[in-house]
Every structure is written in structure tokens, then in C-alpha cells.
Amino acid sequence: MTVLEALEEGLGPMSLTSIAVACGMQPSKTHRYLVSLVRAGMVAQSPDSGLYDMGPALRRLGAEALRRMDEVGLVSQHLPGLRDRSGHAVNLAVWGDHGPVVVRWDYGSYALPITVRVGATMPLLASSIGRVYLAYLPATLTEPVLRAQSQDGGVKSRPGEIESIRTATRRTGWALTSGGVVPGVSSLAAPVFTTGDSLPLVVAIVLPARHATDELVETLAAELLAATSAMSAELGHAQQAAKPGRRRKAAREP
């Protein structure tokens, strides 16, 4: 498993020496493992370069693991822990035909002036969930939804606002809104990345706006990023955890 993990982290074909160094083993010992893994089809060696890479049996294993994976179910298992650690309500959203759709809502310790129905569609500009999708989805998906929501009486974007949201959210890894959907409610959200071409999921922490001090928001953002990073890793996405930054003013609506 150490050899296979070294190949994964190498992000491409590797030499025996490179694999041995990554494993912290002698080349002779590493070579014995590689011989067995090649025989099992887990590793393949190029006849031209002599470099090692993942083999056909490992690709079949990965494909079957992805086929069996329930992304929403796996992420949902993390939500009660995040709720208990933060003390606040958490929710999970997926991308639907008309924008972000809430598929799970776990209430926290603090009463909120809102009851969110599972299946509700969230606005792109006014919600932290929507802003995360604006940052990480291509414009070909988000622009038609933005137009439809503005025509239905939603918030209209100002010149340069979308790009500002995208830049700020990508820089810190999370988005914050306050009062955009319901007065007196603040929400911060971060993406959960999946594998392949699957669209990201979004997890949000929701709290009374009166509690959303700069210090608490930073603490919750760190907790949220740690949780979503763990969720992304469980879904098979190799991701570097973003660092929460002080961007409260940039994240709020005017």
C-alpha cells in the first residue's frame, strides 16, 4: 500500500529510485514489491522508459469504487459532526436544473427565523451556497440560472460583481453572506470536490447574524474548511486545504 500511495502522490510515471525515496525504503525492497504488484496488474512498467505507473487492475478497482459511491450519502455522514462541533445548523446542497438545491438540513443549538425545506432552490447571488457555485462552476452553467433568477425578481448583479465574488471565494475557499436570503441570518459555505467530471457539492453553516462576529466567523470557516477537505478526500479528490482569510467585508452583500 505504501508503494501504491507513492505512485498516487507522484501524479505520473515514476522511476524505481523515485518510488523508493517516496516510500522511505531501499530500492531492492521496493523492487520486490513492484514485481508482485506488476504480476497482480496493480502496477504497470513501461517497456520503453522502464517507469512504473498504475496498472489496469488498479484502474478497474477505482472505476468500480466510483460506481458504488453515493456522494451525497458519504458527505451527509460528516454533517452531524460538523453541526456538533460548530453548534450551528448545517446544510448540504447539490447543483440542480435551476440552481443549488438543498438536500439536507441539520438544525443546530440556536433558533433561526427560517425553516428550510429540503428540495428548496437557493439564489446564486444572495446565498453563500450560490456564491460558491458561482466561483467553481463554469459560466455556461451559472449564467442561464442568474438570468432566470433575476427575471423572477431576484437580486441582479452589478458590473464586475460576479468576477469579484469568484476571485474572493477562490482565494479563501469559502463564501459568507448575511441577510441575503433571510434577514437576521448569516451563512458561510465551502465546496466539497468530487472525482472526474462530477459537479461539486456545497456545505454551509447557518447561524443568527447577531452571533456572526469576525472572530467567530474565522473560527467557523476553519472548522468548515477542515470538514469539507476531509469530505473531498473521502470522495477521492486530491485537494490542498484552503486557508481561511479575513475577507468579511468582501464577502457580504452591500
CATH 3.30.450.40 location in the chain: 71-251
User: Taking residues 28-44, what's their average pLDDT?
Assistant: 94
pLDDT tens per residue across span 105-120: 998 888 887 777 788 8
Indicate the residue type of 23. C
- Between 181 and 165, the more confident residue is 165
CATH class of 71-251: alpha beta
Query: What is the average pLDDT value for the chain, to the nearest integer?
Result: 86
Q: Is the pLDDT of residue 252 over 60?
A: no
Instruction: Strands of 155-241 (E only): list them.
Output: 175-178, 185-192, 201-208
Assigned C-alpha cell, 146: 442568474
DSSP-derived pairing of the beta strands 89-96 and 99-106 = antiparallel
Assigned C-alpha cell, 116: 428550510
Q: Which CATH number fits domain 2-68: 3.40.50.960, 1.10.10.10, 3.30.310.80, 3.30.2130.10?
A: 1.10.10.10
Predicted pLDDT of residue 67 = 67
Predicted pLDDT of residue 182 = 81
Residues sharing a CB contact under 8 Å with residue 10, sequence separation 6 or more, in sequence order = 18, 19, 22
Residue 239 pLDDT level (bands cut at 50, 70, 90): low
C-beta atoms surrounding 134 within 10 Å = 25
pLDDT tens per residue across span 141-157: 999 998 888 877 666 77
C-beta atoms surrounding 29 within 10 Å = 12
DSSP state of 14: B
CATH 1.10.10.10 location in the chain: 2-68
